[in-house]
Homo-oligomer: A and B are copies of this chain.
Amino acid sequence: MTHLDQQFEAFKNESTEKKIEMFEMDGKLFDMIISQQLSREVLEELYNLTNHLRRMGKLKEGLDFLGTLLSHKRAMLYFEQPSSRTFLSFLNACHILGLKTSEIRDISVSSEVKGESYFDSIRTFSSYTDLVIMRSKDKDAAEKAAWLLNTYSNRPVPIINGGSGADQHPTQALLDIYTLMRSFSNQGGLDGKTVMFCGDLRRGRTARSLAYLLERFNDVKLIFCAPKEFQILDDILESLDNKGVKYEVITESVRSGLDRADAIYMTRIQDEHDLVAGESSIIDISKFKLTGEDLKYMKPGAAILHPFPRRDEIATEIDSDPRAKYWRQGRNGMWTRVALIAYIFNLEKQIMGFDVSKVDHLR
């Protein structure tokens, strides 16, 4: 254990508030490491920025302008874990802003195999680039990287957490919130709505971290719908209790919650986290899938989300229903990441100043 490891252990035990501060630069979000950094105010700002960016994205001159903003900067995508979706979403987000990109997707080509410490690897990568986006098995990896650079580098670059272990995946939470806000933009917004989660709520980090962010909205009610083996853990419920957020836990079937849900957030069974091989497969989840038949029981203005990849949690017949928002959820993921990177590099004014009046408002 080097003295850096020791120092980081001390930092790890700091309060969330202390950490949020460490991840800021000049009082503004700089590293994007944990969902807790996303205040309601930041979420609203990123929401507006994303909407504006999407309209710019419909114009060649809009895209060409965006492509000049960070044309002098370089990003590094350091993806220790396989992930095509998050990877491609970030990569294309970088390209929209003109960032040049380099990638490490195969850990076996990394210097870490030659015995290099993680800290040395990060400091080296960061020295070539202006932004590091990372995904890793180690739940502390992104936090470690941000801590190291902010503490020791005289040229710290922002770190964005693209998913670390089973823990945090803040840009997924961001895109989910954006999609919810967008889906209800003609229904008075997300405040006051009921969001039902269905599937593997125990192990899926997306449902967990989205539940956390929904606390930032007023009068949101949550429904947790899963067989008892996959139900949400008590720590989340306790957190909701403490904040006074209303929720309901149902273990019967997805249909039993459809009449009350404004949004239905489906997730797949995370059997890659099975402790005993096959333990998930013996649990009956047949009643926790959405079929074409279920559409009849949903509210007319409901929104169906899924972080994808999906297996058969949502029948493909539903794909063409206007309530299916999961395709645009994916594309929103790219645009919210453009917004986040632009925000970190202080480009909000330049972007919001671009005239998009000739582009129709978003649907």
Chain A contact residues, CB within 8 Å of chain B: 2-4, 60, 63-64, 67, 71-72, 74, 76, 82-85, 87-89, 91-92, 95-96, 100, 102, 104-106, 108-117, 119-121, 123-125, 127-129, 152, 268, 272, 308-311, 315-317, 319-320, 327, 330-331, 334
Contact = CB atoms under 8 A, between A and B. Distances in A.
A87 B100 CA distance: 15
Contact of A331 (B82, B92, B127): B127
This protein's copies in its complex: 3
Contacts of A113: 82
A31 to B, nearest CB: 20
B85 A91 contact: no
Given A119-B316, A127-B330, A85 B111 contact: yes
Contacts of A89: 128
A116 B311 contact: yes
Main secondary structure of the interface of A (DSSP, over half): helix
The 9 residue pairs across chains A and B that have the minimum distance between CB atoms: A116-B309, A63-B72, A95-B100, A82-B109, A111-B309, A127-B331, A92-B128, A2-B316, A115-B311
A88 B128 CA distance: 7
A161 to B, nearest CB: 19
A247 to B, nearest CB: 28
Contact of A64 (B72, B85, B114, B121): B72
B92 A102 contact: yes
Nearest to A76: B88
Contact of A60 (B60, B72, B74, B102): B72
A258 to B, nearest CB: 21
Contact of A152 (B63, B91, B125, B320): B320
Nearest to A116: B309
29 contacts: A3-B316, A3-B317, A4-B316, A67-B71, A67-B72, A74-B92, A82-B110, A83-B111, A84-B104, A84-B125, A85-B111, A88-B104, A88-B124, A92-B100, A92-B129, A95-B100, A111-B308, A111-B309, A114-B309, A115-B268, A116-B308, A116-B311, A117-B316, A120-B310, A121-B309, A123-B327, A124-B308, A127-B334, A152-B320
A155 to B, nearest CB: 8
A283 B315 CA distance: 52
A114 B4 CA distance: 36
A118 to B, nearest CB: 11
A331 B319 CA distance: 43
Contact of A120 (B92, B116, B309): B309
B115 A309 contact: yes
A125 B71 contact: no
A268 B116 CA distance: 10
A334 B128 contact: yes
A88 B334 CA distance: 25
A207 B165 CA distance: 39
A248 to B, nearest CB: 29
Contacts of A63: 72
A35 B85 CA distance: 31
A354 B116 CA distance: 39
A95 B72 CA distance: 9
B76 A120 contact: no
A119 B308 CA distance: 13
Most B C-beta atoms less than 10 A away, residue of A64, A109, A308, A309: A309
